[in-house]
A = this chain, B = another copy of it.
Amino acid sequence: MIDIDDVAQAADRVHRAGTWRSVAARKRGLDAVAATLESHRRELVDLAADETHLAPARLEGELTRTIFQLGFLGDEAIGGTHLGATIDHSDASWGMGPRPDLRSVAQPIGVVAVFGASNFPFAFSVAGGDTAAALAAGCPVVHKAHPAHPRLARRTADIVVEALRSIGAPEALFALVEGHDEGVQLVQHPLVKAVAFTGSTSAGRALFDLASARREPIPFFGELGSTNPAFVTPAAWERRAGAIADGYLASVRLGRGQFCTKPGFLAVPAGASATIAAAAKAGDEPALLLTPGLRDGYETSLSDFAGLAGVEILEGGASADAAPPLTLLSTTAETVIAQPDLLEREMFGPASVIVEYDDATQLEQLAPLIGGQLTATVHAESDEDVAGLLGVLAERSGRIVWNDWPTGVSVSFAQNHGGPYPATTTNTTSVGAAAIDRFQRRVAYQGVPSNLLPPEIRDENPQRIPQRVDGSLVDPLAEGDR
């Protein structure tokens, strides 16, 4: 029986001791975790397949992504971009009156609680993106395991602890805890300074409310719900109907529809749904969903949706099978325009809704009706005037996908995985380089002697990181290259 207070206290001691502050140590630690995961690949994928019912090939890819992500975020930490090192030398002629020497740099926020997701047992779980980003930011992590894959979570945690120990990192830098009540205690613990969460809107909102109601409120970086609508113009459909239908179906089927970026709605010209339904006849391979509870929730949301006026079942449908079939529903733009809250109904599983429109102007009527989204997708020809449509979608989503599908989420410098509520609870990303920024806070130093400053904001710049000096960006590595 793990005591949450003991775990939080131990993690906070690591934070205060500052032994994990060195970016070089962070990089070594993240690389060690990556290498140790790789050396246990077979065992981990087997365990994950057994507990999640996801296909081994999909899990292999997810583990590769997870391992890459650890190294990538370690590189970002050591590169120093995210520290926002800024130096203002004293300036007697500064416009508002003499300016003292003032410097600022980001420092780790403190102990971070990370909640694992059910649907990505590697990439959004024990050693997933939130854990990697928090460690890269210099923060200790207490990970709350998702109950859908407890054995994998424990085994992965053992590997993380072993890897961090191998590079001499402090023992309490990472800990795993389990249990609903333990998760609640963690969010409410005074020494926990931020929470990262990926899961359902109901569970995420309940924890967000707890984090906000604390005596000292803390940031809650939650990824909750998204229906990821996709919009196909008449010209795109006319020229590429087959490829669009195949791409859409592959994206919906990925992970049996249990992706936060699954395209839940596809707006197409009238008549197109028959083509898609025909393409869907071939090759469906029903599989168990992540958990029986999740399957029940999926069936309920599917039955509710299918029962709405103006909605028809094109393919599949409600089923008592443990492994539900691919289900395509169809409706019309008129129906959705009359009841726009339809667009916020997420069905977490292998279902999606095809919305037929009579006339391309309806696309522009539909777009402003969508709620906050992780992604919005447009299939169009590049000579079409869709700037207005893209602008409306950019207001409502965190990523615009063009002539592609939203289920691939690359880990890179520019990636943004987050959008207006309920997609996420804050305007931040949980994937990509900027994920690190969430777990830092800036501190300014006024007139502090150089030997007492953090090295990142000394004039000598011993770590050769990017600095903003008196307003100008200076990147010593870029200069050295020239």
Question: Chain A residues in contact with chain B, CB under 8 A?
Answer: 16, 18, 61, 64-65, 68-69, 71-72, 79, 81, 84, 86-88, 94-97, 99-100, 102-104, 107, 109-110, 208-209, 212-213, 216-217, 219, 372, 382, 386-387, 390-391, 394-395, 397-404, 408, 410-416, 418, 420-422, 425-427, 429, 433-434, 440-449, 451-452, 466, 468, 470-475, 477-478, 482
Given contacts A217-B421, A402-B447, 15 further A-B contacts (CB under 8 A): A16-B395, A68-B95, A86-B414, A88-B410, A94-B410, A96-B411, A99-B410, A104-B414, A110-B395, A399-B444, A400-B446, A401-B447, A402-B446, A413-B471, A472-B475
Choice from B434, B444, B446, B452 contacting A386 with Cβ under 8 Å: B452
Residues from chain B with a CB closer than 8 A to the CB of A410 are: 88, 94, 96-97, 99-100, 102
- Min CB distance A205 to B, Å, is 9
Q: A12 to nearest B CB, angstroms?
A: 10
Chain B nearest CB, measured from A103 CB (Å) = 5
- Which single residue of chain B is at the shortest CB-CB distance from A384? B452
A402 contacts across to B, CB distance below 8 A: 445-449, 452
Question: Which B residue sits closest to A443, measured CB to CB?
Answer: B394
9 contacts between A and B (CB under 8 A): A64-B97, A100-B410, A102-B412, A107-B394, A109-B427, A208-B212, A212-B217, A402-B446, A420-B441
Q: A216-B420, A442-B427 are in contact. Are A387 and B473 (CB under 8 A)?
A: no
Q: Residues of B contacting A382 with CB < 8 Å?
A: 449, 451-452
Closest 3 CB pairs of A and B: A416-B444, A212-B212, A68-B96
Complex formed: what's the CA distance from A447 to B477 in Å? 29
Which residues of the other chain, B, contact A69 by a CB distance below 8 angstroms?
96
Residues in B whose Cβ lies below 8 Å from that of A65 = 96-97
Given contacts A394-B107, A427-B219, are A400 and B95 in contact (CB under 8 A)? no
Residues on B with beta carbons closer than 8 Å to the beta carbon of A97: 61, 64-65, 410
Contact A88 B414 (CB under 8 A): yes
On chain B, the residues within 8 Å of A68 by CB distance are 95-96
Min CB gap A71→B, angstroms: 7
- A308 → B minimal CB distance (Å): 22
Q: How far is the CA of A401 from the CA of B395 in the complex (A)?
A: 41
From A79, A412, A447, residue with most partner B Cβ within 10 Å: A412
A440 to chain B, nearest CB (A): 8
Q: Which residues of B contact A448 (CB under 8 A)?
A: 390, 400, 402
Contacts A96-B411, A414-B444, A444-B415 given; indicate if A387 touches B88 (C-beta within 8 A).
no
Checking B422, B434, B442 against A416 with a beta-carbon cut-off of 8 angstroms, the contacting residue is: B442
**B102 and A415 contacting across the interface, CB-CB below 8 Å:** yes
**Contact, CB under 8 Å: A404 / B442:** no
A372 partner residues in chain B, CB cutoff 8 A = 216
- Complex Cα distance, B416 from A390, in Å, reads 35
Complex Cα distance A447/B470, Å? Answer: 36
Tell which of B107, B394, B425, B451 touches A217, judged by Cβ atoms closer than 8 Å.
B425
List B contacts of A219 (CB < 8 A): 426-427
Whether the pair B414, A102 counts as a contact (CB closer than 8 A) is: yes
Contacts of A212 in B (CB 8 A): 208-209, 212-213, 217
Give A100 to B416 CA distance when docked, in angstroms: 13
A219 to B208, CA, bound (A): 13
Instruction: Let me know if A444 and B398 touch, CB within 8 A.
Output: yes
On whether A208 and B216 interact (CB within 8 A), knowing A96-B68, A102-B415, the answer reads: no
A228 to chain B, nearest CB (A): 12
Across the interface, which residues of B come within 8 angstroms of A425, CB to CB? Answer: 217
CB distance from A20 to the nearest CB of B (A): 14
Tell me which of A81, A96, A426 has the highest count of chain B C-beta atoms within 10 A of its own C-beta: A96
Which residue of chain B is the closest to A447 with respect to CB atoms?
Answer: B402
Chain B residues closer than 8 Å to A446, beta-carbon distance? 399-402, 404
